[in-house]
Structure 1
């Protein structure tokens, strides 16, 4: 019965896999949501934009759109997003999907994942699944944030929010007149994330998420910055 419940949930969730953009009230600012830590850290930002709302990150009057819908309805809108370092993100995906012990969602059952597989096997499998088929827990963040015809989003790395926080505050102020609170603290990488960033597994991650690393995390350290230059489009070809 539990497997049936998860399968129904999975079928309901998958059609929304490309609806990343929350257009905030007023239609001048959109938040591009990335599941996981990035979305959690964005909640106090979103709460600050909605006077009187509880700190849960949700509004009564928002639109949830695809990039195409966003471009058609709001061609001049400003967009912001938070992105998480790939090794941290994949470690979190493993803990959610495999280590939690919950029944595997249908997508994972159909794409060669198995309960109890090792973190290294998990990374090897996601490295073979391109972004056009990938679940949003491990789909490249740059693929999720593609905005053809729109102004590129302002993207803040979750490991370095303070570096571009003033830039985000200025964007928010110009679009909404609101003032942001100080940046929320980001949790330290888990032991699993540090483990996955090393050796052959770390190299797999760097190759699979080369574009994410170059676009959002260049210069953050040797384990994140060493993205192979010739692998930038590989993840979108499968």
Structure 2
């Protein structure tokens, strides 16, 4: 009975929110990661209707944020993972995901913006959350928020994508270094202008120069995930 009532309320809300005349969607609450409750359920239901991969549980976690960011990218909205008036309006009028293409330029920009948001997060061996990252946990988390699944470790991530020459690096490429052991033992995200962002054991998530005295000699290659 409770499940039936929940579905009934969700249908009623969707009828009110997603079919309101333009200009009245602003009444919907702003939702972001960490929120819970019935409005999050309504959001998740709508994303599922539009064929985005999200679990309907009423918790606005990383998976829901990734789906929201993917929806925003597909609809030309600033991809911040926050559901405000503009995103509600787009949700109201959007067609199924399969009818639209994806703009990799916007996706790469979103990945860079996402990565920069976590500058200063401390290093944690084995860390995969904003409470603490190691290098591959950071890249996995950032790409995951943008709807791209990466393996857990740097050496496994190194097996993905297309090799890229140093003089052809582009923002969004994964760059790899040999540090505490031979092979790809550290990685980060190239952000342009000869710089990359990564989770380092000494400074946490930070931006560094590819050609610095430390990183330059340890660079071993790059892979392009987005083409």
When the two structures are superposed, what TM-score results if normalisation uses the length of structure 1? 0.27
Higher strand share: 2
Q: Whose Rg is larger?
A: 2
Higher relative contact order (CA 8 A, sep 6+): 1
Higher helix share: 1
